[in-house]
A and B are shown apart, each in its own frame.
Chain A
Amino acid sequence: MSEAHSLVAQNITHRFGGALALDSVNFDVRGGEIHALLGENGAGKSTLVRILTGALTPDSGLVVVNGEGWRLRNPRQAQDLGIGVVYQDFHLFNNLSVAENIFSSSPHPPSRFGMSARRDMYAQSHELLASFGIEVDPRAQVSSLDAAEKKLIEICRALLRSPHYLILDEPTAALEPRETSKLLGVIDQLRARGTGVILVTHRLGEVAEIADRATALRNGVNAGSLTASEFSLESLAHLIVGQEVLVETGPQHIPGPTKLKMSNLQIRKDARPVEVEVRAGELVAVIGLIGSGVSTVMDTASGAIAARGARVEIDGASYQFRSRVQAQSLGIGAVPIDRKATGLILDASVAKNTGLANLESYSRGGFTSRKKLGRAAEKSKELFDIRLQSVDQPVRSLSGGNQQKVMFGRWHQNGSSILVIQEPSQGVDIGARQEIHRYLISFAEQGGTVLFSSSDLEEVRVLAHRIYVMHAGEVVKILDNTGADRPSRQALTQAMADTNFVGLEREVSL
C-alpha cells in the first residue's frame, strides 16, 4: 500500500546520557500488516516503541503518520493520531476495577448527565472481555489479577479506542499457550480489519506463525528484515543474533535423591492437596492454565506466601514456612514472575541488587564493603554476560533481559542450593535465554535443585526432567521428559487444557 496508510519511524536517533540507544533507525508498518520488531535485550525495541507513541521525544528523526511528519511530544498526541500501545511493563491502576482501568484512557467513558455510569461501563467491559473469551469480572480490582490477566486488560484498553496502528511490546511474555493463541487470533482479526500491528517479541514461533515482515535491531541500528516467505526459526534467530544459533539439547544427567518435597498444599477446598517432589540435580517444571494454581505452588515452595498446612521437606527435615527469610536460610532462592514489581529494587545499583540476599558475606561488623559487593556483581556480570556500563548503575536502566540475569546473579552469589523460578526467561532474548538455560542445567549437574514454572512450552521441553501438569488446583499429571517418549508440544497443551482428563485421573486415584 502507499504511504498514505502507514506509520513510519524515520531516521530516529536517540541517546540516553552519552549512550546511543538508537542510531538512524527506520521502521514502518502499513495498514493491514503485522510487522514484527525483533532484537536482543537492550537492542532498542522498547525505546523505539516509546518514541512511536510519544512517550519519548527522540533527539532527531520523525514519526510519519499517514504521510505527515510529526515530532511527538506526549502520548496523548500519538493517541489522537490513532496509535495505540501496550507497553512492556504494566501500566494499570491497581486499586481500580477492571472496567475502570479499561476506560481509564478513553476520551468518552460512558456517562449519564455528566456522571460516570458504572453499570454501562461494566456492561461494555464485559462485552469487550467476552469477545476475547476472557473470564474476568469487570468489577474485580486489578490488584487481584495475575500477570496474564493484567496483560489482557491492557490490550482491551488499547483496543477500546479502535486504533489504526497498534504497538504491542512483548504482549505474550506473560501469557500461557492458550491465551497466546487467543491473542494471536485477535491480532489476526485486527489485521483483517486494516489495522497496522507492530509486534515486539522474543518468541520466534509467534513471528513465524503470524507476521508478514520481521525487522531486527542490533545495538540500536537496523540489522535487516525478512518477509514471511523467508521465515524459519533459524533464519529469524540468525537475523537477530547475526550468527548461527545452536540447538538446545536439554539436561543429560541423572538426578540424585529427593531434595525438596512439598506436601499437603490445599489450593482449593474441593481439590486434592498438592504434592511436589524434586530431587537433587533435577529440573522440574510446573505448568497449567491461568488459575490452575501454578503460582501458588511456586510461591509456597519459595516461602513467598505462607500457605496454611503446607509442609516442605528439605533433605528429610520437615518445615512449615512462615516467611521468605526462613526459606532463604534453608538455601532456597526465588525468582518471581514479575521482576520489576517483586524482584528488584529498581533504583538501587546492580551491585546492591546482586548482594542484597547475603549482605553479610560482603561486610565486616555490619559495615558493607563496596569493593566486595562490586566484585561479586562483576563476577555475576561475567558469568551471565550482563550488558551494563557499570555495576553501580541503577537496575532500572538495564534492559529486561539483563535485569532478569541480575536476579539469577543474586541467587548464584548467595550460594542457594534450591532455585524456585517463575518464568526463567520471560522477556529474555534467545541468546540470553540459552545462557540462562545452560546455567540452570549446569547448576543442576552440580547437584542444584530447580523447580520452575513456565508458560513457554518450548522452554519446558528443553529444560525439564519431569513436568507437573496442574488443573483447578490439583496436580493432574506428572510427565517424564527424558528419553524417547518425551511429550510433544501438542501433548503438553492438551494435558493442560483437557478437563475431562481430570475426572478420569481422579477416579483412578480414588
Chain B
Amino acid sequence: MSVQDLTVSKVAGKRQSRFTAESLFVPGLLVILLVVLSLVSPVFFSGRNFGQILVQAGTLGIVAVGATYVIIDGDLDLSLGANVALSGVITAIAIARWELPWPVGALIGLAVGLLIGLINGLLSSYLNVAAFIATLGTGVLASGIAIHLTNGLTIAGLPDDFAALATGRFLGLQGLVWFMLATFVVGGVVLHFTNFGIRVFSVGGNRDAAYLAGVRVSFIRLMSFVIAGLCGGLAGVLLTARVQAGQPGISTTLTLYATAAVILGGTSILGGQGSLLRTFFGVLLIAVVQNGLDILGVAYSLQQVAVGAVFILAACSEAIRRRR
C-alpha cells in the first residue's frame, strides 16, 4: 500500500525535477534570446538567418562533440583549437601546394587530427601525464607547427569542388551544417546507446570503480581522445573548405568556446555526467549570441565579452542548482 504510493511519488517527483531544473535552463535561455532578438531586429527572424546561425555553429559544434567525450570521461582537451588549425592548414597545403586530389587532402587532414588525439591519449592515459598539461603541450606544439608551415599567412588556391564540401547546399542547408548534425547524431548514438558510451560515463564517474569492474580504463580514455582528435580534424578540413584557405591562427578561442558550450549545456566538468543533446543546446546558444550581436553591429571583441558573460551566468545557475 504505502510502499507502492511512495514508489510512484518518488519516481514522479524525480522525473519532474530533472525535467525542470536540469534540461530546460539552456533551451529556455535560447528561446528567450530568440524572442528578444526577433523583436529587436527584423532581419533576425528569417530562414536565411537561421541557416546562417547553423553555419556559425558548424565548426564549433563538431569540435564540441569531441570535447564532450573527453570531459565526460573525466579529462580535458585543450589542444582542440590548435588541432583544427593544424589539420586545416595541412589539408590546404596538401591540396594547394602538393596538388593532391582534394579527397586525399581531406583524408590527410583527418589523419592529422586523429594523430593529435592519439598522442594526447597516449600521454594522458598510458603515461599518466595530467590531461590538462599533455593537451596544453600538444596544443601549443600543433599551433606552432601550423604557423611555421604557413609563415603565419593563409594558404589560398583551393578548388571549388573542395569548397562545395562545406558550402554546397543540400535540402537548403550547407554541407558544413549537415556534417555538424551528422557528428552530433553519430556521436550521440555512440555515447548514449552503446557499451562504449556507458564505459565512458563510468570512467568519468569513478575511474577506480570502473577498473575494478573490468573496464579497460586506459583504452576508453585513449579512444575518447582519439574521437576528440577526429572531430578536430573534421572541423579543420571543413573550415578550410568553407573559407577556401588554411587558417593557422584560430586556435585558442575555439578551444575555450567548445569547452564553454559543453559546460554551458550542463555537462559536469568533473566527468561522469552529461549528454550530447545538452552540448548541442550550448553550441546553439553561443551561435545565437554571436549572430544576434553580429546583426546588431556589435564589434567582434565585444561579442567575446558577451559569450563570456553568458557562460558565467550559466555556470552560476548550475552551481546554485547543485547547492539546493
B14 part of interface (Cβ distance < 8 Å): yes
A368 to B13, CA, bound (A): 27
Q: Which of B199, B201, B202, B212 is A336 in contact with, Cβ under 8 Å?
A: B212
**Interface residues on chain A, number (Cβ under 8 Å):** 35
Q: Is the CB of A356 within 8 A of B215?
A: yes
List of B residues within 8 angstroms of A410 by Cβ: 213
List of B residues within 8 angstroms of A390 by Cβ: 7, 11
List of A residues within 8 angstroms of B6 by Cβ: 18-20, 389
List of A residues within 8 angstroms of B193 by Cβ: 367-368
Q: Is the CB of B212 within 8 A of A393?
A: no
List of B residues within 8 angstroms of A356 by Cβ: 198-199, 202, 210, 213-215
Q: Is the CB of B195 within 8 A of A368?
A: yes
List of B residues within 8 angstroms of A304 by Cβ: 211-212
Q: Which of B9, B196, B209, B211 is A18 in contact with, Cβ under 8 Å?
A: B9
Residue ID in chain A nearest B5 by CB atoms: A18
A348 part of interface (Cβ distance < 8 Å): yes
List of B residues within 8 angstroms of A325 by Cβ: 214-216
Q: Is the CB of A19 within 8 A of B196?
A: no
Q: Mark B260-275, 1 if CB is under 8 A from A, else 0.
A: 0000000000001100
Q: Is the CB of B11 within 8 A of A345?
A: no
Residue ID in chain A nearest B211 by CB atoms: A324
Interface centre among A18, A20, A346, A366 (most CB of B within 10 A): A18
Q: Mark B1-24, 1 if CB is under 8 A from A, else 0.
A: 000001111111110010000000
Nearest-neighbour CB distance to chain A for B121, whole angstroms, equals 18
Q: Is the CB of A328 within 8 A of B11?
A: no
Segment with Cβ contacts to B, from A129-137, A161-169, A357-365, A438-446? A357-365
B residues 83-97 near A (Cβ < 8 Å) are none
B99 part of interface (Cβ distance < 8 Å): no
Q: Is the CB of B13 within 8 A of A18?
A: yes
B residues 261-312 near A (Cβ < 8 Å) are 272-273
Q: Mark A99-121, 1 if CB is under 8 A from B, else 0.
A: 00000000000000000000000
Q: Which of A17, A302, A343 is B13 in contact with, Cβ under 8 Å?
A: A17
Q: Is the CB of A17 within 8 A of B212?
A: no
Q: Is the CB of B202 within 8 A of A17?
A: no
Q: Which of A324, A358, A389 is B10 in contact with, Cβ under 8 Å?
A: A389
List of A residues within 8 angstroms of B208 by Cβ: 341-342
A275 to B158, CA, bound (A): 70
**Interface residues on chain B, number (Cβ under 8 Å):** 32
Q: Is the CB of A366 within 8 A of B213?
A: no
Q: Is the CB of A368 within 8 A of B198?
A: yes
List of A residues within 8 angstroms of B17 by Cβ: 17
B206 part of interface (Cβ distance < 8 Å): yes
Q: Is the CB of B9 within 8 A of A345?
A: no
A360 to B194, CA, bound (A): 10
A460 part of interface (Cβ distance < 8 Å): no
Nearest-neighbour CB distance to chain A for B204, whole angstroms, equals 9
A92 to B211, CA, bound (A): 23
Nearest-neighbour CB distance to chain B for A301, whole angstroms, equals 13
A352 part of interface (Cβ distance < 8 Å): yes
Nearest-neighbour CB distance to chain B for A142, whole angstroms, equals 16
Q: Is the CB of A347 within 8 A of B10?
A: no
A342 to B212, CA, bound (A): 7
B249 part of interface (Cβ distance < 8 Å): no
List of A residues within 8 angstroms of B13 by Cβ: 17-19
Nearest-neighbour CB distance to chain B for A144, whole angstroms, equals 15
List of A residues within 8 angstroms of B213 by Cβ: 356-357, 410
Nearest-neighbour CB distance to chain B for A334, whole angstroms, equals 6
Q: Which of B9, B209, B210, B211 is A19 in contact with, Cβ under 8 Å?
A: B9
A289 part of interface (Cβ distance < 8 Å): no
A residues 300-324 near B (Cβ < 8 Å) are 302, 304, 324
Q: Is the CB of A345 within 8 A of B201?
A: yes
B188 part of interface (Cβ distance < 8 Å): no
A156 part of interface (Cβ distance < 8 Å): no
A357 to B6, CA, bound (A): 31
A344 part of interface (Cβ distance < 8 Å): yes
Q: Mark B183-224, 1 if CB is under 8 A from A, else 0.
A: 000000000011111110110011011111111100000000
Q: Is the CB of A389 within 8 A of B195?
A: no
List of B residues within 8 angstroms of A17 by Cβ: 9-10, 13-14, 17
Q: Top 10 A-B pairs ranked by shortest CB distance? A: A18-B9, A18-B13, A17-B13, A328-B214, A345-B205, A359-B195, A19-B10, A342-B208, A356-B213, A18-B10
Q: List 6 A-B contacts (CB under 8 A).
A: A18-B9, A328-B214, A344-B206, A348-B205, A359-B199, A389-B7
Q: Chain A interface (Cβ within 8 Å of chain B)?
A: 16-20, 302, 304, 324-325, 328-329, 334, 336, 341-348, 352, 356-360, 363, 366-368, 389-390, 393, 410
Using A325-B214, A345-B206 as known contacts, list a sample of 12 further A-B pairs with CB atoms less than 8 Å apart, ordered by residue number in A.
Answer: A18-B8, A304-B212, A324-B211, A341-B206, A342-B209, A348-B198, A348-B202, A348-B272, A357-B214, A367-B194, A368-B198, A389-B11
